[in-house]
């Protein structure tokens, strides 16, 4: 047969051989049987075998025989002369067929593949590479990125990394939402303050102004509404407004204590205006129209904020290929164009001066409900496309943006919070209405759940959030203390470098490790976890592997893999061989958390191995050599898997 010297997917090689052998046996025992797809799984315990088939359970009924009897027959009829990677085949349990790998050959195949492919091991290339845009983060440039939004960045960046490793051409896009009322609010406040030079990090500075301005405008608006309600004595409405007002007054009090100077100044300046809310709306209208003065103002604020974002994201290891301004879509007429096309369809209607899009009708007409996973009797809400004052809404502009994205790629992945699921669905349906059903099918909403603070939701408008920056600061600080304590001999520069990649790694890991569909309650000890099931734990395992290799100070010359007799060694080899499988699955199902999980499991096993068995001093030397190659392979796979989720693997810590 002739084994190749190395393999891109050792487990798959073994699995293929098992399937082939099993198929031949089946053919021998049941010549008339037409064999469907065989799936082999890992038994719960490696002592039972490396792969197992449960086919006999299915066959039992049809053949009217006990599963175990069938398994025994099939095992007996295997052609032992054809076994290569397989050491033996046995029947077991109630009727499983278990395959044992030949440890010597399988280890050689796996370890040599890893050491040969090195930084490419595991990253099995797709046979249909695509151009894919991953749009992620896209935080509005009105306040710093908070820890909830950081989940978006971490997931989006990890997705981009794994898809790239899979062989796709990836473009990372940041959509700058500089159009809309929220941006007008911050621009208004910034102007009222006389366009001040930022104190501290610009996005943090902007964030304070935004929250205070937004709060003051809200209070002003509610007070007016209250007055109006009182003139008509609408009791229920008065109560409702009062409750809301109380809430905002509490926010105002909070903000006043936190930022007294800024608060006082903004209060004074905003009080000069009779109707600040209208000023904001006016500014929004002027910006959409592209009036020079408005453009200059809004862009100035946005740029300031973005400067802060870039600093934060670069620090976290997140970079982009393109920063797309939403305003460009409006000014270039792309939004208008889309709107005109939509108006020509039978799905757009005018209601009280606003333009509405009848998503339900489109879904009915094109028979989309089943396809989109909705019940037939579910009525989709309509989508407002244009306000009474002629300005557009976010999703309207997003339709134009989506079409623009598809000019550059074949597939779009939007990393957007789960709470926007309906809007993302309406966007998709709008594409069908425009005759771009083909594109709609290549548009993926990668949804993730909220990060909440214990007891309450984060709210940018209320200034209640924990910033990504402060979380990273705290994590790096803690990592520094830890490194200083554990490795005082290291030079200061190196300690800082390690603290940085460990601290940030911890934060990244904490945010990708959980299934995106599950909510995360932010607690400091969760993100600052430096013990098991954390990036530092995996990084530490990697550093330990490096340390062994460093101290060995010799190349493994004659590794004798047949000397791997320990269960833990076999388990590690199996894990290492499985990495390509895990990678492919994580990529195809868009599950970056699988990678985190894999790395953690491998680190666990490696630490158990580290503790139980000597490497450098193992006897005979051929075993020591074999273990050295195993350690080297673990080192490579830990590093590769960490890199996939944007975490750096240090050689010392």
Partner RNA sequence: GGGCCCGUGGCGCAGCUUGGAUAGCGCGUCGGCCUUCUAAGCCGGAGAUCCUGGGUUCAAAUCCCAGCGGGCCCGCCA
Q: Where in 510-569 is the site for RNA (CB under 7 A)?
A: 513-515, 517-521, 526, 529-533, 536-537, 540, 543-544, 546-548, 551
For RNA, the binding residues in 193-222 under the rule CB under 7 A are: none
In sequence order, what are the residues at sequence separation of 6 or more whose Cβ sits closer than 8 angstroms to the Cβ of residue 407?
Answer: none
Bridge-based pairing state of the strands 96-101 and 131-135: unpaired
Within 613-652, which residues bind RNA (CB under 7 A)?
613-617, 651-652
Q: 6, 30, 325, 394: which one contacts RNA (CB under 7 A)?
A: 394
In the region spanning residues 583 to 612, those forming contacts with RNA, defined by CB under 7 A, are 585, 589, 591, 593-594, 597, 600, 604, 607-608, 610-612
Report the nearest approach of RNA to the CB of residue 568 (Å). Answer: 8
Closest to RNA by CB, 61 or 80: 61
**Contact between 488 and RNA (CB under 7 A)?**
no
Q: How far is the CB of 1 from RNA (least distance, A)?
A: 26
Q: Decide: is 449 part of the binding site for RNA (CB under 7 A).
A: yes
Task: Give least dist CB 428 to RNA, A.
Answer: 14
Distances (CA, A) of 518 to 151, 418, 447, 450: 12, 10, 10, 8
Closer by beta carbon to RNA, 194 or else 488: 488
Tokens found for residue 233: 């004595």
Distance in angstroms (rounded) separating the CA atoms of residues 392 and 384:
9
Q: Using CB under 7 A, pick the residue from 38, 72, 93, 442 that binds RNA.
A: 93
Q: How far apart are CA 343 and CA 338, in angstroms?
A: 9
227 belongs to the binding site for RNA (CB under 7 A): no
Binding mask 362-391 for RNA (x = CB under 7 A): -----------xxx--xx-x--x--xxx--
471 binds RNA (CB under 7 A): no
Q: 10 Å Cβ neighbour count for 227?
A: 10
- The number of CA neighbours under 13 Å toward the Cβ of 441 is 6
Residue from 36, 61, 80, 261 binding RNA (CB under 7 A) = 61
Q: Which is nearer to RNA, 235 or 351 (CB)?
A: 351
Q: How far is residue 504's CA from residue 299's CA, in Å, rounded to a whole number?
A: 31
Q: In the window 164-183, what residues touch RNA (CB under 7 A)?
A: 177, 179-182
Provide DSSP, 22-71. Answer: HHHHHHHH-TTPPP-----B--SSGGG-SEEE-HHHHHHHHHTS-HHHHH
Q: Please report whether residue 487 would count as binding RNA according to CB under 7 A.
A: yes
Taking CB under 7 A as the rule, which mask of x and - marks residues 298-337 in contact with RNA? Answer: ----------------------------------------
* Binding of residue 450 to RNA (CB under 7 A): yes
Cβ-contact 129, 168 below 8 angstroms: yes
For residue 417, which phi and psi values (nearest 5 degrees)?
-55, 150
Q: What are phi and psi of 324, to 5 degrees?
A: -105, 125
Which two three-digit tokens encode residue 596? Answer: 């985190």
Question: C-beta of 423: minimal distance to RNA in Å?
Answer: 4
Interacting residue with RNA among 58, 244, 254, 562 (CB under 7 A): 58
Residue 562 CB, nearest approach to RNA (Å): 20
Euclidean distance between CA atoms 317 and 309, whole angstroms: 12
Q: Which of 82, 457, 477, 567 binds RNA (CB under 7 A)?
A: 457
Q: Which helix (H) or strand (E) holds 238?
A: helix 235-258
Q: Which is nearer to RNA, 169 or 378 (CB)?
A: 378
d(CA 391, CA 303): 23
The Cα 97–Cα 74 span in angstroms is 8
Instruction: Count residues binding RNA (CB under 7 A).
Output: 101
């Amino acid at each position: 047969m002739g084994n190749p010297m190395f393999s891109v997917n050792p487990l798959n090689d073994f699995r293929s051989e098992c399937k082939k052998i099993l198929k031949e046996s089946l053919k021998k025992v049941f010549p008339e049987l037409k064999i469907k797809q065989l799936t082999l799984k890992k038994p719960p315990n490696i002592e039972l075998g490396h792969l197992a088939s449960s086919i006999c359970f299915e066959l039992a009924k049809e053949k009217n025989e006990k599963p175990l009897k069938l398994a025994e027959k099939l095992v007996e009829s295997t052609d032992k002369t054809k076994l290569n990677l397989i050491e033996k085949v046995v029947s077991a349990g109630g009727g499983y067929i278990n395959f044992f790998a030949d440890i010597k050959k399988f280890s050689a195949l796996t370890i040599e593949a890893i050491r040969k492919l090195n930084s490419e091991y595991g990253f099995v290339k797709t046979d249909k590479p695509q151009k894919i845009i991953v749009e992620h983060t896209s935080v509005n440039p009105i306040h710093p990125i908070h820890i909830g939004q950081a989940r978006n960045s971490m997931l989006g960046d990890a997705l981009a990394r794994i898809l790239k490793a899979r062989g796709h051409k990836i473009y990372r896009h940041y959509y700058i939402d500089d159009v809309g009322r929220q941006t007008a609010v911050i621009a208004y406040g910034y102007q009222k303050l006389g366009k001040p030079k930022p104190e501290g990090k610009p996005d943090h500075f902007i964030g304070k102004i935004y929250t205070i301005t937004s709060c003051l405008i809200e209070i002003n608006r509610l007070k007016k509404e209250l007055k109006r309600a009182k003139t008509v004595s609408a009791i229920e409405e008065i109560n409702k407004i009062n409750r809301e007002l109380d809430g905002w007054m509490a926010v105002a009090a909070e903000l006043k204590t936190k930022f007294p100077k800024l608060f006082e100044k903004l209060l004074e300046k905003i009080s000069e205006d009779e109707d600040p809310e209208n000023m904001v709306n006016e500014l929004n209208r002027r910006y959409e129209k592209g009036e020079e003065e408005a453009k200059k103002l809004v862009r100035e604020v946005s740029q300031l904020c973005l400067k802060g974002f870039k600093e934060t994201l670069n620090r976290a290891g997140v970079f982009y290929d393109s920063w797309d301004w939403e305003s460009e879509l409006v000014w270039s007429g792309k939004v208008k164009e889309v709107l005109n096309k939509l108006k020509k369809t039978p799905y757009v209607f005018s209601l009280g001066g606003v333009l509405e899009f009848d998503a339900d009708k489109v879904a009915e007409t094109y028979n989309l409900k089943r396809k989109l996973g909705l019940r037939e009797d579910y009525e989709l809400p309509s989508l407002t496309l244009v306000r009474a004052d002629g300005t557009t809404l976010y999703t309207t502009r997003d339709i134009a943006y989506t079409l623009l994205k598809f000019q550059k790629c074949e597939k779009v992945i939007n990393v957007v919070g789960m709470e926007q699921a309906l809007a993302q669905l309406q966007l998709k349906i709008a594409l069908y209405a425009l005759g771009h059903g083909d594109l709609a099918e290549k548009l993926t909403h990668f949804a993730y759940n909220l990060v909440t603070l214990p007891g309450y939701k984060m709210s940018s408008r209320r200034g209640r959030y924990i910033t990504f920056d402060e979380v990273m600061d705290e994590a790096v600080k803690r990592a520094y203390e830890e490194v200083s304590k554990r490795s005082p001999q290291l030079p200061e520069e190196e300690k800082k470098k390690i603290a940085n990649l460990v601290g940030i790694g911890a934060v990244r890991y904490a945010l990708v490790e959980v299934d995106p569909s599950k909510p995360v309650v932010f607690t400091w000890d969760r993100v600052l976890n430096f013990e098991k099931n954390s990036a530092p734990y995996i990084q530490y395992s990697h550093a330990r592997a490096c340390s062994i290799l460093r101290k060995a100070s010799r190349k493994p010359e004659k590794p004798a893999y047949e000397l791997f007799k320990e269960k833990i060694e076999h388990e590690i080899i199996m894990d290492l061989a499985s990495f390509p499988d895990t990678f492919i699955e994580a990529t195809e199902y868009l599950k970056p958390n699988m990678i985190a999980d894999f790395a953690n499991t491998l680190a666990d096993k490696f630490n158990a191995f580290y503790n139980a068995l000597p490497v450098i001093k193992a006897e005979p030397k051929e075993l020591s050599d074999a273990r050295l190659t195993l350690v080297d392979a673990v080192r490579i796979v830990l590093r590769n898997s960490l890199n996939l989720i944007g975490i750096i693997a240090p050689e010392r810590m």
